Amino acid sequence: MGMNAIEKILAKRSGQTVVKPGDVVMVDVDTAVSFDYGKPNIKKIHNPDMLVLLHDHVVPSPTLSAANGAKSLREFVAKFGIKNYFPVGRHGISHVLVAEEGLALPGNILVNGDSHTCSSGALNCLARGMGPSEMTYIICKGKTWYIVGPTTKIVLEGTLSEGVFPRDVIHYIAGQHGDFAGRNLEWYGPGLEAIGMDGRLTMATISAELSVEFSLFPYDKVLADYLDGRAKKPFEPSFPDDDAVYDQVITINLSEIEPQVVLPNKVAWNSKPISEVVGKHVDQAFIGSCANGRLSDFAIAAQVVKGKKVAEGTRFIITPGSQEVMRQAVKAGYVETLLEAGAVVTNSTCGACYGGHMGLLADGEVCITASTRNFKGRMGSAEAEIYMGSPATVAASAIAGVIADPRVALKVKELA
Amino acid sequence: MSNKKVTGKVWKFGSDINTDLVIPNFAIYMTREEQPAHCFVANRPGWVDEVQPGDILIAGTNFGVGSGRPIGDVFVDLGVFAVVAESFNGLGLRNCVNAGLASLPCKGILDAFDEGDIAEVDWGTGEVRNLTKGTTLTGQALPPEIQSIVEEGGVMAKLKKEGFVS
């Protein structure tokens, strides 16, 4: 009986020939990513070259505590001689940065102290988030454990319609299938070929909201082209055996999906087609985070708002996922288009996505966001409501001042 | 008699109890000592004043969904002895186990208890008894390797003992 691509990585890195659902495996970790704060209590580390350290949630430091945390991170870098360190100025959201920098690689095991680490699954990299104490453990010992979960195979067929994006696909899955707690996702199908790396990274990132253990995309031409000249070291992709076992197969015809909006407070079993939620007033519209802070998100937002103005009574904030995304978005003219429309383009940071140091929601306010989560109180007041949509939906809503169908905005532009 | 058996009063919570409810965004950068006071302030204000050392948390599916915030530390500091949920988010489970908090996935747990019932949870075997109602059900005990992390008091205790951290 064959293994799927996830099981094959777990078997290889745990030194076993076969693993199956229910097994507990102790694996060697290839890469561990940590951010913002040093860990001054650590006396010895496993291997400085497995670490990637950076600043993302609180950058540049908005508080004295964050400033001292950043200082302790720099001290950690110096103390242990960490080469893969991204100081302020070369910063970015960890999941965006490790992809851009070719540090999350196919067939590798990567951990990170942030829950959206499954983002790197788009790179055929077996990646998941860890809590702070477990990150300390892995930094010290270079190992961790996994319980091998059953795997769902997602097969994408067909093509996305105009105005519908990968973000809508993952919302659709959350709405139709709920959470996948304790389970894995592997993504395949002819529909995937037309979805680029930015879209795959969005779907892999939001897999965290489906409570998956791992979300793994195949090593195909799209990924190979992306890694060409970018990968920092050689790698061995993981492919499923021909007789790989999947516990469940979900086939999705992309052409049948319309834009999907997630309603406030939770993600599983909580999305609706946009036609059922249009017209809801929004005080704030946000695009950013590890889910949608990439260049194509800026491109879509700029396309939707070009020549228009953000509605009175609505704030539109857009945050690049890295300094590199910012540089490219400036170069392509997207930033200028967004500023002309009245959007606020911010520094690269996790910032508004988690109610960090900016873009907070007041009591009773409504936000439409293309970031990662809609939990109660997530972006500020516990009395605020957070809806989630694709970057196109968010940009169209910013212009309309209400939740709006991006297909209308895009069509009007085509006719003009 | 298993040394992995705890008995306590039950607090019931629903499904999709997320990390941001346990540690709200405004409390993320507070010290560990300060954080527990803000647990569940958005969904159940006042609960932290009612929960007593030795109590047991019972929840629905997808418990602990969300971020890497160390939710286990908060429950340990509030004196919670065990969390039993219909299902756990993987990261939520790791953060409970790594804090040394007894954790047990158990299908049917929500229907088997009313709030205030007394539960006897054997997180070694997975057996859960409702001492108030006289009923028993069996959860899916975590593998022995994972249980041993709880027994050792969590990962930080282990690292300290081995001299990796101060």
pLDDT digits (tens, 9 = 90+) for A174-214: 999 999 999 999 999 999 999 999 999 999 999 999 999 99
Binning pLDDT at 50, 70 and 90, where does residue B143 land? Answer: very high
Name the packing angle between helices A166-177 and A197-206 (round to 10°).
Answer: 30
**Residues B90, A130: C-beta atoms closer than 8 Å:** no
**Residues A44, B164: C-beta atoms closer than 8 Å:** yes
Instruction: Output the pLDDT for position A415.
Output: 46
Instruction: Output the pLDDT for position A411.
Output: 63
Question: Domain residues of chain B, as ranges?
Answer: 5-161
Q: Which CATH class name applies to A261-415?
A: alpha beta
Instruction: Output the pLDDT for position A376.
Output: 95
Q: How far apart are CA A192 and CA A203, in angstroms?
A: 11
Average pLDDT over residues A409-413: 61
What are the structure tokens assigned to A147, written together? Answer: 């319980």
**Between B25, B70, B159, which is nearest A132 by CB?**
B70
Nearest C-alpha of chain A: how many angstroms from B129? Answer: 25
Instruction: Output the pLDDT for position B1.
Output: 45
Instruction: Output the pLDDT for position A302.
Output: 98
What are the structure tokens assigned to A393, written together? Answer: 């939906």
Nearest C-alpha of chain A: how many angstroms from B85? Answer: 12
**Residues A131, B70: C-beta atoms closer than 8 Å:** yes
Residues of A in contact with B16 (CB under 8 A): 179, 266, 268
User: What dihedral do alpha carbons A31, A35, A41, A47 form, nearest 10°?
Assistant: 20
What fold is seen in the domain A5-232+243-254? Aconitase; domain 3 (3.30.499)
The residues of chain A that CATH labels 3.30.499.10 are 5-232+243-254, 261-415
What are the structure tokens assigned to A260, written together? Answer: 């999907």
Which one-letter DSSP state was computed for residue B156?
Answer: H
Tokens 């990962």 belong to B155
Which of A211, A354, A386 would you mutate first to test chain B, the one with the most B CBs within 10 A?
A211
**Residues A43, B94: C-beta atoms closer than 8 Å:** no
Average pLDDT over residues A375-388: 96
Residue A37 has pLDDT above 50, yes or no: yes
Binning pLDDT at 50, 70 and 90, where does residue B2 land? Answer: low
Q: Compare all CA atoms of chain B with the CA of A66 and give the residue at the minimum distance.
A: B29
Which residues, including other chains, have CB under 8 Å from residue A246's CB and lie 6 or more apart? A4, A151, A152, A153, A186
Instruction: Output the pLDDT for position B3.
Output: 84
| Listed range (A1-5, A115-119, A409-413, B127-131) with the worst mean pLDDT | A409-413
**Residues B68, A42: C-beta atoms closer than 8 Å:** no
Nearest C-alpha of chain A: how many angstroms from B119? Answer: 25
Q: How far apart are CA A345 and CA A294, in angstroms?
A: 13
Average pLDDT over residues B24-51: 96
**Between B16, B29, B88, which is nearest A65 by CB?**
B29
Instruction: Output the pLDDT for position A408.
Output: 85
Q: Which of A239, A10, A261 has its CA nearest to residue A128?
A: A10
Which residues, including other chains, have CB under 8 Å from residue B111's CB and lie 6 or more apart? none
Is A350 in contact with A321 (CB distance < 8 Å)?
Answer: no
Q: How far apart are CA A346 and CA A348, in angstroms?
A: 6
Average pLDDT over residues B21-33: 94
Binning pLDDT at 50, 70 and 90, where does residue A372 land? Answer: very high
Average pLDDT over residues A281-309: 98
Average pLDDT over residues A149-160: 98
Is B69 in contact with B23 (CB distance < 8 Å)?
Answer: yes
**Between B43, B87, B166, which is nearest A181 by CB?**
B87
**Residues A354, B67: C-beta atoms closer than 8 Å:** yes
B5-161 to CATH, choices 3.40.640.10, 2.60.40.1080, 3.20.19.10, 1.20.120.450 = 3.20.19.10
What are the structure tokens assigned to B161, written together? Answer: 């003992």
Average pLDDT over residues A146-171: 97
Average pLDDT over residues B72-83: 98
Residues of A in contact with B61 (CB under 8 A): 179, 181
Q: What is the pLDDT of residues A324-347, one digit of tens each?
A: 999 999 999 999 999 999 999 999
Nearest C-alpha of chain B: how many angstroms from A22? Answer: 9
